[in-house]
Chains A and B, each alone.
Chain A
């Protein structure tokens, strides 16, 4: 299997996670580590940028499910952006768009956080 890479950065006080490559049962723990770190440091507003992600398996999807509740309970959320069509189809098939917010690009997702923060 091809490699997986995850990178965490901050943009306008929103945490942006860049995922790259293949997210499956073997690489999911790397992403889990990042989420754990965010929760430890009380950062609950997360945008996951899928720009360079080529494949996601059910175990990969499970990572987001595992953390969404904690984020939302703390007035945060996990939003997705820059998804390739094949990856989006997997999310779509499962019905994720009913449960999560998807954006064309990262800035839209961040702005959504900023807007909701005003109220």
Chain B
């Protein structure tokens, strides 16, 4: 059962071997096909062998999917071999006087072998043609081809009629001519030529004309040479017919290929470029998902740009904070690219692709004749520009400009992608940095607020996301004095945190050594000015409270004023003084004022950082000093914790969902001694 299925499978190569072996034996045993029966058997065997060989070869070739050129080359080599053998046969075999071929065993064996080579070659050539026929064709053309196949078979088989009557050759000749007609029609299917590149087309042009000649000569040998004709005829008239038809097919087909290629040649370059563009666009899409390094991507883009539009140089600039930054250059110097970009972008407001030709004398330097500038847009926002320049006389044509535009569109998305990734990495780094800053801040702030009999103290600190640089501390001094500092370092993040750490150290040590708040601030300024960067400064209030006398001495260096509530009245204490780090010595020293207050029972003092009055609501309105004063006044009879809570409640009601922008420090004292 299984064997049977195998046998039925007509694509199987074993069947070919079986049939060809039988055919071979038959031909060795009966070199002359004198009897009609042998002739009939031989023809049928041959037909089946050819058919099976054709089927299995077709399957083989289809599976391997060779390139059209290699198919042509292989079949061409076979055709050349055929031609060579036929020519040798033509001169090598001698004819008997009666015009029949002289046979002996050796001759018989040789000719049979040769015939087998022929069979194989012809089937291969024909199969190649069939593969080429269907290559790159969009429509279903199998009907055309199958009709032709049918007529080829009929032409072969119509030779059988000759057994019964040698004069019955007209059906064969008719089919033969019809087959030629069909071959001619099918020969114009050469769609695949368009997809070859220019180099391949040139190559094909030469091969096709050579092959046209070879096929034509082989065909003429088949028809003209008596020897060849006799040998093949003697073997099988049907095979002679097929052989001739395939040779004709070859001759016509390659002639068509020759002319088609010839006509395609002028447009080959344009076609090549289009193909390159398509593959470049595909490459960049691939790159988008693989390359996240901005620089690497930019370099690839500039290199590709020169390819897709036949230009000499390309470079890419990005817009960062309204500044033009040169990112990547290809076959142009950094300095030149920079100068050209600047001069062109300054003069032109580029929103669409722009072509500048040197005829207008607008291009810096004498090197380039034509420059294309393509904006790199994402969501209508221009992130940069892609430049490409050509030295040659001829300007960019519309097609090339369009390709640059299309390419720039893809490139801008790819670059945006890379940029976003870069940003997210940077953000992560920044967050780590902020973690460090927060840690520093957390460590230098007091762990808990001190408690005293005569003084109620509440301290609140709320850090902003980007550490704002607020700092406060209490120092227990000699003679029943309490020292305290409230400070705010300019700037944010890790740099503010470092300065804050410095400030803490300075105050810590100076508070023990110097008694007067003014003198402490003068000394702190002296030390800080040496260590602060030019653009950094610190605002601070330093105060000293004596628990015995209730005398408060304060100095203020640019810090937000102190709120002072005394006897149902609230006002700002604003001793003069400029920020620390603003001036080296005299101005700071001269500006600084020390203030003394003798506290009375239930007096309230509020120290705070600018994070409170400068807190903003959704319409960017400041919380301001007025609101703060009102809340304190309204809650003047409550304890400090309640006042703190009320301030924070009102503040959060005011800012709502607006994020906190700066650190908030709030320190409230209430004097409880009569």
Contacts and interface: CB of A to CB of B under 8 A. Distances in A.
A108 interface: no
B582 interface: yes
A61 interface: yes
Contacts of A65: 534-537, 582
A51 interface: no
A72 to B, nearest CB: 12
B674 to A, nearest CB: 35
B537 A61 contact: yes
Interface stretch (B192-200, B346-354, B363-371, B486-494): B486-494
Interface string A1-22: 1100000000000000000000
A68 B400 CA distance: 52
Contacts of B661: 1, 24
A115 B542 CA distance: 41
Interface in A78-115: 86, 90, 93-96, 98-99
Interface residues of B, number: 34
B492 A99 contact: no
A69 B582 CA distance: 11
A63 B322 CA distance: 19
B578 interface: yes
A61 B581 CA distance: 12
Contact of B620 (A54, A59, A61, A99): A54
A98 B590 CA distance: 10
Contacts of B489: 58
A71 to B, nearest CB: 12
B560 A66 contact: no
A103 to B, nearest CB: 20
Contact of B535 (A1, A30, A33, A66): A66
A29 B322 CA distance: 12
Q: How would you classify the secondary structure of chain B's contact residues: helix, strand, loop or mixed? A: loop
Interface residues of A, number: 26
B104 interface: no
Given A59-B490, A86-B622, A95 B535 contact: no
B112 interface: no
B441 interface: no
B220 interface: no
A72 B321 CA distance: 28
Contacts of A69: 534
A95 B323 contact: no
A25 B537 CA distance: 14
A29 B321 contact: yes
Given A24-B661, A66-B535, 20 more contacts: A30-B322, A58-B488, A58-B490, A58-B491, A59-B491, A59-B492, A61-B490, A62-B491, A62-B535, A62-B537, A65-B536, A65-B537, A90-B610, A93-B558, A94-B537, A94-B582, A95-B579, A95-B582, A95-B591, A99-B587
Closest 5 pairs (CB-CB, A-B):
A95-B578, A62-B535, A58-B490, A66-B535, A94-B558
20 contacts: A25-B491, A30-B321, A57-B662, A58-B610, A59-B490, A59-B491, A61-B490, A62-B491, A63-B535, A65-B535, A65-B537, A66-B534, A93-B558, A93-B559, A94-B537, A94-B579, A95-B591, A96-B582, A99-B578, A99-B583
